[in-house]
Amino acid sequence: MTEKVITIDGIRVYVDMLARIEHSCDPKLCGRQGNCCSCYQIPLTKAELSRAIGLSSHAANYQPDLLDEDVELFEEMDDDSLILGSTDTGRCVFAFPRGRGMYCSLHAACLELDLPPYRTKPAPCTLWPLCLSESKPLELAVMGDAKQFPCNRLLKKPRKTLHAGIAEILDELYGPDFTEKVNKHL
């Protein structure tokens, strides 16, 4: 099937693909394994890293392991790019278990400090289950493995408007005008 792609504000957007997913995060659904904070290497910009480091002492109220001097908040890759640090099991160093779910200590610290969590966390965290390619021009699509997570539902046909959970992600990262432009193409 050929995917419908529209360029919006310089980003190639796979509009029908975005309209075929419904997403509602409820950490109690995914349990401690196989959740989105344990499955990926999260690329970071320098600004995102600075924000994460700046919030780490507050985040440690929720994830005390962050105070361990052996914990690396980030890793530098061979090509000099940066990714969020992770534990031996692949879990992000900022993730912490509570009850049956996994939560984000950066997100919790933002709420504590009255900061907007979705604009403070690394963009890939806010975007998930969507993803932005590193290509030029940028391409906005849905993660290939999205359907294996219980918070995502993939539909056979595109919706007439984006699901609220997807619209919220776009609103936070690109603004409501961007979301409206996507909806106009559906």
Give the integer Cα–Cα distance in Å for 155 and 75: 37
Q: Which of 14, 149, 174, 178 binds ligand SF4 (CB under 6 A)?
A: 149
29 interacts with ligand SF4 by CB under 6 A: yes
Q: How far is the CB of 136 from ligand SF4 (least distance, A)?
A: 25
30 interacts with ligand SF4 by CB under 6 A: yes
Encoded tokens for 126: 């806010």
Give the integer Cα–Cα distance in Å for 66 and 135: 33
151 interacts with ligand SF4 by CB under 6 A: yes
Of 42 and 162, nearer to ligand SF4 (C-beta) is: 42
Of 36 and 166, nearer to ligand SF4 (C-beta) is: 36
Of 5 and 41, nearer to ligand SF4 (C-beta) is: 41
35 interacts with ligand SF4 by CB under 6 A: yes
Residues binding ligand SF4 (CB under 6 A): 25-27, 29-30, 35-37, 42, 84, 92, 94-95, 102, 104, 106-107, 121-122, 125, 149, 151
